[in-house]
Amino acid sequence: MSTEQSAALFERARTVTPGGVNSPVRAFAAVGGTPRFMRSASGAWLTDVDGHDYVDLVCSWGPMLLGHAHPEVQAAIAAAIARGTSYGTPTEPEVELAEEIVSRTPAEQVRFVSSGTEATMSAIRLARGFTGRDVVVKFAGCYHGHVDSLLASAGSGVATLRGSQAHTPGRPLSVPGTAGVPAGSAAETIVLPYNDRDAVTEAFAQYGTRIACLVTEAVPGNMGVVPPAPGFNSFLAQTCREHGALFISDEVMTGFRATREGGWGLDGAIEGWVPDLMTFGKVMGGGFPAAAFGGRSDVMAHLAPEGPVYQAGTLSGNPIATTAGLATLQLATDEVYERLDATAATIRSAVAEALTAAGVPHVVQHAGTMFSVFFREGAVRDYSEAGAQDTATYAAFFHSMLDQGVYLPPSAFECWFVSAAHDDRAVSAILDALPSAATAAAT
Ligand code: PLP
C-alpha cells in the first residue's frame, strides 16, 4: 500500500508542528509506521490522501455515532453556517441541546465548554468551590483530559494509602505524571487502583474531610474498556455522599455512546444512584469542539454569573457545534443504539473467533456499544492488568488490518468505536480482514 502522500505530509507537518500531529496518539508512536493523513470521510469510511479507503473503527475517537457526513447533520450544519458562525450571545440551539442532554441524563443543568478537558477542569473547580475543599480522588488508568491536577501518576500517593506508612502532613499525595505539571497541582490528587473498594474506603477514612470530589469515567475506556464491577459506581456515589464530597462521573467518552443515556444507562439508571456532577463531550458535539459539565442545580448555582466560581469561554455553546450536536442526538434514537449494539457484538465475536483460531491470547471487554481487545489472557479489572498485555502483538495486528483497509485505534489501550453507518459492506470488510491479521499477530 503506497503511503507516499501521507509520508510527505507527515514530513512537512513535523517541521511546523511538534511530532507532526495535534494530539499525540495520532502519530502512530505506539504501533510504528506512517500515520495516515485523511482527506475525507463518508459513512463508515475514511479516505486518505493516497486514495485508500478504510473502514473506520475509531470514529474520531467516539464522536461520529451516526457515521461521517451524515446527510441530515450536514444539512443542519450548512443551514446554521449560513446564519453566521459565532455571535458571542446566547442562542436557541444552546437551549435545545441543554434540554436534550438534561432529558437523557440525571444532570439538572449543564454549562457548555469547548473540550472534554475543559469540562473536567471546570467540574473540579466547581466541586472545590462548592465544598471549600481541595483534594481530588481519581483512578489510575482513567483519563479526564490534560488537566494539570489529573495528570498525576499513582506514585507515592497510592503506596502511602495501600501500605502501612502513614501520610506525612505536607507531603504530596501524588506526583505529576508529565513534565510541565507543577508538583503543587498533583499534590492534592489521590490516585487509586480502579475497581478497588478497599482503596477507596481507606482513602476516604484518611482524607475524607479534605476530599472535594472523586472523579471517575462512568466506564473507563481510556485503558481499554474496563467495566466497573457490579455496584462499584453506586458504592463510589455512596462513599462520596457519606463524606460530603462530590461524585463526578466523566461521561465524555461514554455519554450518548455506551447507551442512549451514556454509561449511566448501564448501571445508574438501574441501581438508582445519581452523580453530583457529570462531564460530557465527543458525541454531543456532532464532530465539532463542544463539551459540557452539569449536574445538581444547587451545585451548578455556584457558577458565575449566579455564584462565586468563575468559568467562561469565547466559543462556548458555539451555534454550529450545538446545532451539530443537537442534530446528532435527535437522530440517535433507540433503533440507532440497537443497531450499534448488534454491529459491535458481531465485530467482538468475530475478533475473538479469529484470535482464538490463530492461538493469540486475548480478551474482549465491552460496555454497551463500546469495546476493546486486550492482547493478554484473563479479565482486565484495573490499569495494572491493562498494562500487562502484549503491545507488540497488537502492533502486528493493527498493521495487518490497516493494510487490508481497516482503521483501528493506533494503540492497544484505546476503545474501538462503531457507528450507525457501519453497514453490511463495512462489517464484511472487517470480518474478511480478521483471519490474516490474527495470523500476523500470532507470528
Ligand atoms: N474525559 C474522557 C473520559 C475522555 O475520554 C477524554 C478524551 O478522550 C477527555 C475527558 C478529554 O476530552 P478532550 O479530548 O475533548 O479534551
All residues at 6 or more sequence positions from 135 whose CB lies less than 8 Å from its CB, including other chains: 173, 188, 189, 190, 207, 210, 211, 212
Interior angle at CA 360, CA 355 and CA 361, nearest 5: 110
The residue among 224, 230, 268, 134 whose CA lies nearest residue 188 is 134
Ligand 1 center–CA 138 separation, angstroms: 14
pLDDT at residue 271, as a whole number: 94
- What is the H or E stretch that residue 185 is in? helix 183-186
Give the pTM: 0.95
What percent of the chain has a predicted confidence (pLDDT) above 90?
A: 90
List, by residue range, all CATH 3.90.1150.10 domains of the chain: 4-65+333-442
Q: Look up residue 363 and give its DSSP letter.
A: E
pLDDT at residue 154, as a whole number: 34
pLDDT at residue 153, as a whole number: 53
Assign domain 4-65+333-442 to its CATH superfamily.
Aspartate Aminotransferase, domain 1 (3.90.1150.10)
Pick the CATH number of 71-331 from 3.40.640.10, 3.40.50.720, 3.40.50.12370, 3.40.50.300: 3.40.640.10
Ligand 1 center–CA 164 separation, angstroms: 35
- What is the H or E stretch that residue 112 is in? strand 109-113
pLDDT at residue 166, as a whole number: 40
Which atom of ligand 1 lies at the shortest distance from residue 118's CA? 16
390 is catalytic: no
Separation of first and last alpha carbons in the chain: 21
Ligand 1 center–CA 83 separation, angstroms: 30
pLDDT at residue 152, as a whole number: 75
**Catalytic choice (48, 56, 196, 250):** 250
What percent of the chain has a predicted confidence (pLDDT) above 70?
A: 96
pLDDT at residue 186, as a whole number: 86
pLDDT at residue 170, as a whole number: 57
At 60, is the secondary structure helix, strand, or coil?
helix
The verdict on the CB of residue 43 being under 6 Å from ligand 1 is no
All residues at 6 or more sequence positions from 400 whose CB lies less than 8 Å from its CB, including other chains: 433, 436, 437, 439, 440, 441
**Can you read off the three cell numbers belonging to residue 190?**
489521590
pLDDT at residue 171, as a whole number: 64
Task: Tell whether the model's pLDDT for residue 221 goes beyond 90.
Answer: yes
pLDDT at residue 181, as a whole number: 87
**Catalytic choice (138, 282, 383, 394):** 282
Ligand 1 center–CA 221 separation, angstroms: 10
Which atom of ligand 1 lies at the shortest distance from residue 142's CA? 3
| pLDDT digits 0-9 by tens, 245-271 | 999 999 999 999 999 999 999 999 999
Task: Tell whether the model's pLDDT for residue 75 goes beyond 60.
Answer: yes
183 or 371, higher pLDDT: 371
The verdict on the CB of residue 120 being under 6 Å from ligand 1 is yes
| pLDDT digits 0-9 by tens, 293-338 | 999 999 999 999 999 999 999 999 999 999 999 999 999 999 999 9
List, by residue range, all CATH 3.40.640.10 domains of the chain: 71-331
Task: Tell whether the model's pLDDT for residue 71 goes beyond 70.
Answer: yes
pLDDT at residue 157, as a whole number: 33
Task: Tell whether the model's pLDDT for residue 27 goes beyond 80.
Answer: yes
The verdict on the CB of residue 125 being under 6 Å from ligand 1 is no
What is the pairing mode between strands 277-280 and 189-192? Answer: unpaired
CA distance 114 to 117: 8
250 is catalytic: yes
| pLDDT digits 0-9 by tens, 144-203 | 999 988 987 533 233 334 433 344 555 678 878 888 888 888 889 999 999 999 999 999
Mean pLDDT throughout 210-238? 97
| pLDDT digits 0-9 by tens, 107-117 | 999 999 999 99
Q: Whose CA is nearest to atom 10 of ligand 1?
A: 144
| Pocket perturbation via mutation, ligand 1, pick of 142, 143, 370 by most ligand atoms within 8 A of CB | 143
Task: Tell whether the model's pLDDT for residue 278 goes beyond 60.
Answer: yes
C-alpha Rg value of the chain to the nearest Å: 22
pLDDT at residue 163, as a whole number: 38
DSSP string across 400-433: HHHHTTEE--SSTTS-B---TT--HHHHHHHHHH
Ligand 1 center–CA 135 separation, angstroms: 21
The verdict on the CB of residue 262 being under 6 Å from ligand 1 is no
